[in-house]
Structure 1
Amino acid sequence: MSGHANTYVPKSRLAKWFESRLPLVGLMHSSFVSFPVPRNLNYFWTFGAILIMMLGLQIVTGVWLAMHYDPSADKAFNSVEHIMRDVNYGWLLRYAHANGASMFFVAVYIHIFRNLYYGSYKAPREVLYILGVIIYLLMMATAFLGYTLPWGQMSYWGATVITNILAAIPVVGDTIQSLLWGGYSVGSPTLNRFFSLHYLLPFMIAGVVVLHVWALHVVGQNNPTGIPIKSGKDAVAFTPYATVKDVFAAVVFMLFFAYWIFYQPGYLGHADNYIPANPAVTPAHIVPEWYFLPFYAILRAVPDKLGGVILMFGAVLILAFAPWLDTSRVRSSNYRPIYRQFFWLFVIVCVVLGWLGAKPPEGGYVIASQICTFYYFAHFLIVMPLVGLFETPTALPGSILESVTGPGKQIESGSGMPVGAAAAPSSKG
């Protein structure tokens, strides 16, 4: 999986026999023990490990919940109540799964903004980055499908709104809608389809995550300076240095996660979803989960239904083109004083879009959504290409080691990686 030499040497006869036939231990050792990582990584680089942990938690809790869930329009809501009241620790499983989706998106948004700030999408990491965008798209689909399963008022009407939106797609829209509905309206066949897809997609995400990690170990990790590993002293072994940092960050994140499970389990949801689905009663305001609100605001910013759908999907897909839209040769925004201001403006715009997505589509909220939507796309289509051409970056450090110790200073002998171990990632950027 990794792009550097394997330093694992089996010691026992059994280990040598197994390694000669299936070098699995050697693969894991070279990828997660001896793999060289830049010594200046900060805690923003721990969110990859946190996301893998959250994916595993979501799969385990989801499989357990599926054992007690009944995907039919007549019984779905009551089966969720059965899980909460009658299944041993069912309340814990459900709250962990429901709030785990929110925590998953908290981590992934930090991960995405970190990539955009430090230029981790630039060559040679384009494929690595695009795989990350694919994971994000699969996450969004999985989360939407999961939100419909409790079959409360917001679940039912959310499914109705989104499937009606898909019908606006030219040529194939009606076909997609009919396939998802399984009939002439949202009902039991729809819920069955959504449950099946919701169960399947996390395993697809896991498969793409394997490719994502593989690509990461081929090209090596980016770092806060954006400059490549140039010598063994620029890098340290993944274990224990990065592993300890990942474990500490994961523990802190789990404490944050535990707060929502035990003290605010329903805060991130919607009160209407505790009411059984009723096709005859439309909620006053139909809103998706908080992590979809920026895209919901973009959808409603355009009066034309098809135009809104195009912009909503385009807001996600445009992320995949960042490696080619950014014209700067400097990766990290730490050394890009002009672009750094635009980046933080972009973050503020995304937060404001999320706030606007929860507001009714009327008056000043619509105008504000249109302004923020314009800047969202302008950041990628105008700011990234133009700022990279005219901006004068500040001076970069001569090496990763210099960024940690300062110019002209050295580290103790033996505290860095052997030069040969860091050769593969550094040769590729």
Structure 2
Amino acid sequence: MPVFKELFDHLKNYQAPKNLNFWYFFGSLALLMVANQFITGIWLLMYYTPDASLAMSSIELMMREVNFGWLFRYLHAAGASFVFVVIYLHMFRGLLYGSYQSPREILWWTGCLMLVIFMAEAYTGYILPWGQMSYWAARVIMSLFKAIPFVGDSLVLFIQGDYEVSEVTLHRFFAFHVVLVPLIILAFVGLHTLALHAVGSNNPDGVEIKDHVDEKGKPLDGVAFHPYYTVKDVMGACIFLFIFLSVVFFAPRGWGLILEPENFEVANYMVTPLHIKPSWYLAPYYAILRAIPSKGLGALAMLGSILVFALLPFLDRSPVKSMRYKGPLSRMALGVFVVAFIGLLCVGGMEVSPLSISAARICSVLYFSYFLLMPIYTHYDTHKPAPDRLT
């Protein structure tokens, strides 16, 4: 078909750096998991009923009575977690090799916006089972929007469709999860891919391969994406699918991280759970929210902890991109940031206590310090000279 011929011709002509390592698997793996979510989501849509009294029953029906219903449900539920696994690792690679620096600012910003959109998609999907944790998670997040000055109450009324979280809210979130947000995701996936092909892939050395070309205009340090990297991506996908399917078949509830035990109970408006917690992939931001006593400031800090990634092209003053050539201060700062993020992830899923709140505050300070102090430590840090060509 002409469309596939054009696609393969483009892949053959697209030049990628010849030294890409395993960290570059996660971009294609994210696309693979998005495809999994779309396919399994369409199948689940055939049996799900967006009704407060029937939502849980429809899920039980597809799990127990529909052929392979349990498989599609577990693929979709586990897939939501693995989407964020590959996205977080994909972003870490960007921090490691400076993929946010010129000329890839637009590429980085579209990725940051996609992170927010994926969070919205995951959150709206989390509400659909209408279990105990789903309902009260909706109550908690909706209360945060009320803290927005001037427009908070109107925004909450628009999102939840009622003055309280109710069946109308379930219908709204169903529409957001199934139609609105997926369309936005598809648009941003296209924009992200176009931006990538416009500026080219970064590489572990942080060297621009377009600076050295032959008489035909092809980069001297580049190779055709197909077949060289398509073969590598297939290999990476096989290893990843082995891990993913092992979880789906042998630990589909993910030890309570993928499917919480509390969410197998039908939503009860009259009983508040002892411990309300989000999914693990949203736990770091929830921990930042809880670390600040003021609800308004906590909501701003939580939103800022996500949007601050977009400022990295302006904050990094280092003359080199890759961590291979940056000095000890930059390496230590990235290491502390990773520890702080993992600490927030763990604390966000714990019960509220003086110890967990103190740990959340310490990790929050370390988290934001990575960004706020970046102009200082990248400016004064020592660095090795980056090579002119790929090593």
Range class of TM-score, shorter chain: over 0.9
Q: Which residue of 2 aligns with 1:115?
A: 94
1:223 paired to 2:203: yes
Whole-angstrom CA distance in 1 between matches of 2:351 and 2:155: 28
Secondary structure of the residue aligned to 1:334 is coil
Q: Which residue of 1 aligns with 2:367?
A: 376
More moved, 223-232 vs 113-122: 223-232
Q: 2:23 aligns with which of 44, 67, 70?
A: 44
Whole-angstrom CA distance in 2 between matches of 1:233 and 1:389: 32
Task: Note closer, same or farther for the CA distance 1:88–1:26 as it changes in structure 2 (3 Å cut).
Answer: closer
**For the Cα contact (< 8 Å) 1:31–1:217, is it kept in 2?**
no
Where does the alignment leave 5 or more consecutive residues of structure 2 unmatched? 214-218
**For the Cα contact (< 8 Å) 1:353–1:369, is it kept in 2?**
yes
Whole-angstrom CA distance in 1 between matches of 2:60 and 2:4: 44
Deviations 1:196-233 (A, max 9, x none): 00012123111111111111011011000001112443
Whole-angstrom CA distance in 1 between matches of 2:149 and 2:51: 31
1:104-183 alignment runs, 5 A limit: 104-183=83-162
Secondary structure of the residue aligned to 2:387 is coil
- Distance apart, 1:56 and its partner CA: 0.9
Q: 1:319 aligns with which of 299, 303, 309?
A: 309
Q: Which residue of 1 aligns with 2:221?
A: 234
Q: Which has the higher contact order (CA 8 A, sep 6+)?
A: 1
Whole-angstrom CA distance in 2 between matches of 1:341 and 1:334: 13
Letter aligned with residue 224 of structure 1: P
1:307 paired to 2:297: yes
**For the Cα contact (< 8 Å) 1:148–1:156, is it kept in 2?**
yes
Secondary structure of the residue aligned to 2:352 is coil
Whole-angstrom CA distance in 2 between matches of 1:100 and 1:320: 26
Whole-angstrom CA distance in 2 between matches of 1:38 and 1:224: 9
Q: Which residue of 2 aligns with 1:208?
A: 188
Q: 1:364 aligns with which of 355, 359, 362?
A: 355
- Distance apart, 1:27 and its partner CA: 4.4
- Distance apart, 1:30 and its partner CA: 4.5
**For the Cα contact (< 8 Å) 1:167–1:177, is it kept in 2?**
yes
Q: Which residue of 1 aligns with 2:216?
A: none
Whole-angstrom CA distance in 2 between matches of 1:183 and 1:158: 16
Whole-angstrom CA distance in 2 between matches of 1:117 and 1:174: 41
Secondary structure of the residue aligned to 1:37 is strand
Whole-angstrom CA distance in 2 between matches of 1:395 and 1:185: 59
**For the Cα contact (< 8 Å) 2:318–2:378, is it kept in 1?**
yes
**TM-score normalised by structure 2 residue count:** 0.94
Deviations 1:135-158 (A, max 9, x none): 111000000000111111111111
Q: Which has the larger radius of gyration?
A: 1
Secondary structure of the residue aligned to 2:16 is strand
Secondary structure of the residue aligned to 1:236 is strand
Whole-angstrom CA distance in 2 between matches of 1:203 and 1:61: 16
- Distance apart, 1:25 and its partner CA: 5.0
Deviations 1:26-50 (A, max 9, x none): 6423532221100000011111111
Deviations 1:228-284 (A, max 9, x none): 112443111101111111111111111111011100111222110011111111111
1:96 paired to 2:75: yes
Q: Which residue of 1 aligns with 2:44?
A: 65
Q: 2:241 aligns with which of 251, 254, 265?
A: 254
Q: Which residue of 1 aligns with 2:269?
A: 279
**For the Cα contact (< 8 Å) 2:107–2:195, is it kept in 1?**
yes
Identity of aligned residues (%): 42
Q: 1:394 aligns with which of 378, 384, 387?
A: 384
1:351 paired to 2:345: no
Letter aligned with residue 72 of structure 1: D
Whole-angstrom CA distance in 1 between matches of 2:57 and 2:190: 37
Secondary structure of the residue aligned to 1:248 is helix
CA RMSD of aligned residues (A): 1.3
**For the Cα contact (< 8 Å) 2:317–2:375, is it kept in 1?**
yes
Q: 2:286 aligns with which of 296, 309, 334?
A: 296
Deviations 1:270-312 (A, max 9, x none): 1100111111111110000000000000000000000000000
Count of residues paired in the alignment = 379
Runs of at least 4 residues off by over 6 Å: none
Q: Which residue of 2 aligns with 1:9?
A: none
